[in-house]
């Protein structure tokens, strides 16, 4: 099918462009883009639950932090090398998202938002409570010497960029593959009309739990990579604002579009970056941009593109 070729071509093309940019960008933007790709991976995970399944979580920082601390504590206190530490972080995210899913999915709508928010807050307080190990708010640095993965020093900028790209490409292609499969199409149908899906013979509860675990695990992978690539784990990554961040990225970029999380992260990152060069009230500028986008492109950047011109975008 030419439709499938076009879709895969577009997404693989983006990955190729990001690969090429590695050799072209000046150091400052090179570093930014590495960070954006990891944050975009976080948003890709968020988008599976919010954009595709229609469940608005306010607690995804819990998963990000589970990945970050699973990895970081594994290195810091478990003496692990980066590879098993990453596995530990991602595994921690899977377990935490399964547990939260089993509890929070008993609710829906506003109650679901509040339950996820509260559990994430409990997770944040847990990080502070065990300050002896986590160093609380202050956090801890993961030394360069501890960040050598299979002989590759991840504190070196181009290695770091490449690792971020590998993570982002994996998350992006996984989400694209998932959404085109019957499982993903069922998630979209649940978003559109859950009761109807149930009456077509689907166990919607199991599907939502699956979406929660996939979403949480991807977010945890982003958290684990973030800590490893940038050498730091801190409690602020588990706090409420960090749960709102992927929501903003996804809303800006386009909820329920594969490329939306990346576009949103890119846009938001540079919006804050550029406006903070002009004024200290940079969040005000970000806020105005959000209001304008909500007014004139409520479906986000990619959602608007899909609506106006590219109906085939997944």
Partner 1 sequence: MSLLRTRGLSRHFGGLIAVEGVDFDLEEGEVRALIGPNGAGKSTLVGMISGRIPPSRGTIEFDGVEITSWPAHKRIMAGMSYTFQITSVFPGLPVRENVALAARRRVPQGEVTQAVEAALARVGLGERIDQEAGDLSYGHQRLLEIAMGLVQRPRLLILDEPTQGLAEGEVAQFKALIRDLAGATTILLIEHNMQVVMEVADRVSVLNFGEMLAQGTPEEIRANAEVQAAYLGGGDAAA
Q: Which residues contact partner 1 by CB under 8 A?
A: 182, 185-186, 188-189, 192-193, 195-204
Q: Tell me how far, at minimum, the Cβ of 177 lies from partner 1, in Å.
A: 16
Would you say 137 or 203 has its CB closer to partner 1?
A: 203
Would you say 1 or 110 has its CB closer to partner 1?
A: 1
276 exposure class (CB count in 10 Å sphere: 0-12, 13-18, 19+): middle
Would you say 111 or 199 has its CB closer to partner 1?
A: 199
CB 185 within 8 A of CB 176: no
What count of other Cβ atoms lies within 10 Å of the Cβ of residue 285? 16
Q: Tell me how far, at minimum, the Cβ of 7 lies from partner 1, in Å.
A: 16
240-253 and 61-76 helices cross at what angle (nearest 10)? Answer: 120
- N-terminal to C-terminal alpha carbon distance within the chain: 15
Query: How far is it, in rounded angstroms, from Cα 285 to Cα 9?
Result: 35
Q: Tell me how far, at minimum, the Cβ of 282 lies from partner 1, in Å.
A: 36
Would you say 41 or 186 has its CB closer to partner 1?
A: 186
Would you say 1 or 278 has its CB closer to partner 1?
A: 1
Would you say 202 or 269 has its CB closer to partner 1?
A: 202
Q: Tell me how far, at minimum, the Cβ of 8 lies from partner 1, in Å.
A: 20
Query: How far is it, in rounded angstroms, from Cα 115 to Cα 136?
Result: 23
User: CA neighbours within 13 Å on the CB side: how many for 285?
Assistant: 16
Q: Tell me how far, at minimum, the Cβ of 251 lies from partner 1, in Å.
A: 18
215 exposure class (CB count in 10 Å sphere: 0-12, 13-18, 19+): buried
Q: Tell me how far, at minimum, the Cβ of 106 lies from partner 1, in Å.
A: 15
Q: Tell me how far, at minimum, the Cβ of 52 lies from partner 1, in Å.
A: 12
Would you say 193 or 294 has its CB closer to partner 1?
A: 193
């Amino acid at each position: 099918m030419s439709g499938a070729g076009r879709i895969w071509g577009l997404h693989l093309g983006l990955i190729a462009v990001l690969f090429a940019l590695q050799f072209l960008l000046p150091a400052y933007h090179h570093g930014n883009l590495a960070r954006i790709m990891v944050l975009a991976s976080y948003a890709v995970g968020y988008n599976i639950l919010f954009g595709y399944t229609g469940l608005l979580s306010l607690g995804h920082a819990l998963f990000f932090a589970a990945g970050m601390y699973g990895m970081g504590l594994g290195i810091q206190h478990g003496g692990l090398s980066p590879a098993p530490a990453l596995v530990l972080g991602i595994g921690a995210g899977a377990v935490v998202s399964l547990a939260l899913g089993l509890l929070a999915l008993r609710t829906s709508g506003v109650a679901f938002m509040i339950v996820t928010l509260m559990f994430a807050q409990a997770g944040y307080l847990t990080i502070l409570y065990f300050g002896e190990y986590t160093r609380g708010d202050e956090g801890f640095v993961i030394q360069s010497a501890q960040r050598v993965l299979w002989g590759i020093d991840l504190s070196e900028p181009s290695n770091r960029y490449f690792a971020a790209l590998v993570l982002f490409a994996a998350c992006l292609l996984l989400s694209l593959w998932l959404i085109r499969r019957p499982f993903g199409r069922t998630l979209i149908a649940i978003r559109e009309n859950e009761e109807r899906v149930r009456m077509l013979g689907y166990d919607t509860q199991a599907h939502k739990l699956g979406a929660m675990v996939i979403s949480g695990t991807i977010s945890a992978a982003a958290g684990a990579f973030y800590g490893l690539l940038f050498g730091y784990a801190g409690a602020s990554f588990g706090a409420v604002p960090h749960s709102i961040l992927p929501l903003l990225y996804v809303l800006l970029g386009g909820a329920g579009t594969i490329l939306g999380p990346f576009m949103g992260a890119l846009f938001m990152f540079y919006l804050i970056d550029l406006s903070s060069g002009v004024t200290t009230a940079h969040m005000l500028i970000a806020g105005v941009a959000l209001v304008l986008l909500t007014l004139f492109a409520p479906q986000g950047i990619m959602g608007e593109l899909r609506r106006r011109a590219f109906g085939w975008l997944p």
